[in-house]
A and B are shown apart, each in its own frame.
Chain A
């Protein structure tokens, strides 16, 4: 499952960030702004039309991401209830 396709408003945890084969910096930058293993993430808004860009909450921060950026973030269900 990756962040691009998760339902709106549901809580997930970052499993890993993988490299975009066309842009090696993208993965690194996603990690540096806070998409790190174990962080809680959720999608708050998807723009209309086209669902791009989208608004994502990670930890305490909120970011606008493009779909191709969100696609790099692998997520897993939030098993613990925080």
Chain B
């Protein structure tokens, strides 16, 4: 921590005391933000017996890896859920990125006559919606994808807000003259778009891509509303089930031969926290990227908010 005395103070800087005080406040706030996460990590490494007897604690007497070895051993369902999450995230991100970018592009072209109408088609969804009931009925009867993995992908493919951001990216980074010159070189619209425009908007792609990735990875709402088949549970929904009924972990796994035994020896308290830790893992790993591009996206979003 910076405890410099006033003599080193540059013009416009706050005093050493204020600096110390503000640092202290931020230290506390940062701790509040991070401690719950650390707490869950600690619980996942705590001996099960201790959890049962004395509850969750920041300073366990005994460190144990039981929860994780249990997940490795009994993990078929957990890995499956993990796999569903990964599949949905990758496929969903690619598809929605493509759809959003393609939708935003004509809207950014001043020579396109119907851009207002199509922009409106997207924006209107931000203002008015049919509500949960008709939405639910549509996905169960009109487009019956309720029991397939696509139900966790399709509803999030379009997002009017991202269309706005992407359009702003196009408008600010791709000058009409570049497109005109590409056209003069004989490139069609699609070629111009994929070869000239998109590479120029790499930052925009990264931003929207990360928005989508986060949405898909963290989604639990679609499985909550639609998914019945346990094989289609994603990791978030699996966690939701496990928090509701701790034994869900044991009963849904087929790796163990004896039900009663598996359940009685299950380090359930620790194991469910371990799953939470596993679900946060990828986000922590990708966090530096997330942070960088999110800030960029937010700044652009604020330009045309």
| A joins B in a complex | no
Which A positions have Cβ atoms within 8 angstroms of B?
none
Which B positions have Cβ atoms within 8 angstroms of A?
none
